[in-house]
Amino acid sequence: MEYMNKSILEIHEALKNKDVTVKELIEESLKKSHYIQDKYNAFVTILDEAKETEVTDNLLSGIPYGIKDNYSTKGILSTGSSNTLKDYVPFFTATAISNLEKAGAIATNKTAMDEFGMGGTGTTCHTGTVKNPWDSSRMCAGSSAGSACAVAAGVYPYATGSDTGDSIRKPAAYCGIVGYKPTYGMISRYGLFPFASSLDHCGVLARNVKDAAIVVDTMKGIDKNDMTSWDSKDIHLYASIDGNVKGKKLCYVKEICDIENYPNASDELKAHLENFKNKLENIKKLGIEIEEVSVDKKLLNAIASTYVVISCAEATSNMSNLTGIIFGPRGEGKNYIEMMKDYRTKGFSPLIKRRFVIGSYVLQAENKDRYFHNAGRARRLIVNKWNELFKNFDAVVLPVGSGPAKHLDGSENILDKNTSVLEEHLQIGNFGGFPSITIPDGFINNLPVALNITGKCYDDENVLNIAYAIESSMNYKNQIAKEDN
Amino acid sequence: MDKFTKEMVTDYADKLLIGLTEEETNMVLEEFDIIDKNIDLINEIPEIEQVEPMTHCLDNFIYELREDEIEESIGIDELLSNCDDSSNDEVRVPKVVE
């Protein structure tokens, strides 16, 4: 009997009924970790020495899970999938992970990711490419590639992720699972390796909406070590899910969803958008009203560059502490400047260097207004537009990406010259700190595709309840990836 | 003259204490052109210069000063455990003043 492919509630019930022991769950998760590592390369570290915890009334007690490798874990290698930190073992644990530990959750591995979260393909981890468990010739997307792969493959019911542009919600889509990032600051970022602080969110990848709610209920909370965290004690994500969505109002954006916007659309894109429109009809049957809205294309076209400029600028600043002097492998050189340059030159991958140089360029005094400040201005206009929509609608529902997982061949991690709004719109959730959840909504060529629901800040309970109702109206809950499906 | 040159890219990278290979420099150069064209998409937004740049997701942060509390500090051994070169509780570096 296998348990790691079940929901948190089912596993908890089995533990309470003594149908299975914590030891057996750990053994199953570790065995699957090694199997998945060999096939898909999803992990940086497998924690073979994972210790049992007591089974309590806490739903997460005694249940294995995975930690993205950019969360600091005391005494456990935490690399951010970068050669610059390939031997780094933190002396403290991230607050979100600490909260899971207190609940009795058991980490069985640290998952691979695009280096420091700065990629969307899962191909830039210092341990190599993470492959998609539905089809190993395809990518998982990123940056939470290993977490998405492992949850989809049934290594455990959930794993932590982080999301600066779409790093939880895109991999969830490509792997046929749920990816949820709550309102900015609901989960403390203390101990999460920073990428772009004004956009970084902690969150979770799971196989159903209720599981995602249970996990974030545990991870969240105000933290004196993160001044951007806020008190969410009156928010009860799991308890508030009742599936009652009659009279709720959603909208979708014509300029993103209409196939007419993509004259050279591939068959996969056509099928993806058609599937999305069909699902909207099903959603209406739940008693939810759905309207098409229009958003100025000039705003939508600005999303990609707004993200690139802000994220690269913030990353350049955040990563300045990576010198190899007080941690990280020491570089060689006659003086400390040469040593730092040697460490940074050898340690960072070409992709990261590229982002840093862009960040440096947009922050130069002579360039700042044209690039950095204008990106901040566009960010405000885009967020204002979405907040305007939230005055009339509970949430915005949109398809994720331009179809199922992309092929690994030719998946160069460079910015696409044809910046597709469809690929980039999830970044709006980071610009505004909005609660945002991706759930699977179908299959194209035997590969999963997904839709996303994004609502206004602090309205996480409503967003999750809508997601739960939509999930329940479809047949893609709790699915496990199998290449031979 | 091209707006972006290899010398510029090398200079920006140098300021960050990063060395680039020839291939990496060319990649950044190509990308600068794309970003420059894309930034024009932002500049097409009418009266963009009138907008106050947004620097953070949430506008309603409450900043509270808390009382000072004495907490246990992290031990020096732990702090230095990831340092490749230390001596007598201190990080060892080459001579800084020349």
Nearest CA in chain B to A185: B58
Q: Hey, is A144 helix, strand or coil?
A: coil
In 3D, which of A411, A410, A458 has the Cα closest to residue A434? A458
Q: Are A216 and A186 in contact (CB under 8 A)?
A: yes
Among residues 38-97 of chain A, which lie with CB inside 8 Å of chain B? 87-89, 91-92
Three-class SS of residue A70? coil
Candidate from A21-30, A219-228, B61-70 with smallest mean pLDDT: B61-70
Interface-testing mutation among B18, B67, B70, B96, with chain A (most A C-beta atoms within 10 A): B18
A384 to chain B, closest Cα gap in Å:
10
Judge: A360–B16 Cβ closer than 8 Å, yes or no: yes
Strands of A207-345, DSSP E: 249-253, 289-293
Token pair 């945002």 in the structure block, residue: A436
Say if B90 is an interface residue toward chain A (CB within 8 Å): no
In chain B, residues with a C-beta closer than 8 Å to the C-beta of A301 are 41, 44
Q: What's the confidence (pLDDT) of residue A414?
A: 40
Catalytic residue status for A248: no
Interface TM-score (ipTM) > 0.85: yes
Q: What is the DSSP letter of A223?
A: B
Among partner residues B44, B80, B96, which is closest to A336 by beta-carbon distance? B96
Distance from the B77 Cα atom to the nearest Cα atom in chain A, whole angstroms? 10
* pTM for this prediction: 0.96
Residue A309 has pLDDT above 80, yes or no: yes
**pLDDT bracket for residue A417 (50, 70, 90):** very low
Helix (H) or strand (E) holding A212, with range, is helix A209-219
Whether the per-residue pLDDT at A419 is higher than 70: the answer is no
SS3 content of chain B, % helix, strand, coil (to 5): 40, 5, 55
* Number of alpha carbons in the 13 Å side-chain half-sphere of residue A242: 5
Q: Dihedral sign, CA of A337, A341, A344, A346? A: negative
Residue type, A57: D
Q: Is A326 helix (H, G, I), strand (E, B) or coil?
A: coil
Q: What is the mean pLDDT of chain A?
A: 95
B98 pLDDT above the threshold of 50: yes
Is residue A424 helix, strand or coil? Answer: helix
Report the Cα A2 to chain-centroid distance in Å.
26
C-alpha to C-alpha distance for A271 and A447, rounded to whole angstroms: 12
Is A68 catalytic? The answer is: yes
> In which region does residue A117 sit, left (phi positive, over 0), alpha (psi from -120 to 50) or beta (all else)?
left
State residue A181 phi and psi, 5-degree precision: -115, 120
Over range B23-49, report the average pLDDT.
Answer: 88
Euclidean distance between CA atoms A87 and A37, whole angstroms: 20
* Ordered DSSP codes for A229-242: ----TT--TTTT--
Q: Is B61 on the interface with A (CB under 8 A)?
A: yes
Report the alpha-carbon distance of residue A232 to residue A222 in Å, rounded.
7
Diameter over CA atoms, chain B: 61
Identified catalytic residue from A61, A81, A162, A167: A167
Residue B1 has pLDDT above 60, yes or no: no
> Which residue of A200, A320, A357 is the best one to mutate when testing the B interface, meaning the one whose CB has the most B CBs within 10 A?
A357
Q: pLDDT tens digits for A63-84?
A: 999 999 999 999 999 999 999 9
Chain B residues near residue A372 by CB distance under 8 angstroms? 53
Decide the pairing of beta strands A64-68 and B90-91: unpaired
Give pLDDT, residue A484: 52
What residues of chain A lie within 8 A of the CB of B91, using their CB?
325-326
How confident is residue A416, by pLDDT bands cut at 50, 70 and 90? very low
B31 with A353: Cβ contact below 8 A: no
* Residues 230-259 in A contacting B (C-alpha not used; CB under 8 Å): 230
Question: Measured between CA atoms, how close is B2 to chain A, in angstroms?
Answer: 16
With pLDDT > 90 as the criterion, what percentage of chain A qualifies?
94
CB atoms within 10 A of CB B82: 17
- % chain A with pLDDT above 70: 98
Is residue A294 among the annotated active site residues?
no
Using the beta-carbon criterion (under 8 Å), do B27 and A350 form an inter-chain contact? Answer: yes
Q: Which residues of B touch A323 (CB under 8 A)?
A: 17
Distance CA A256, CA B61 (A): 32
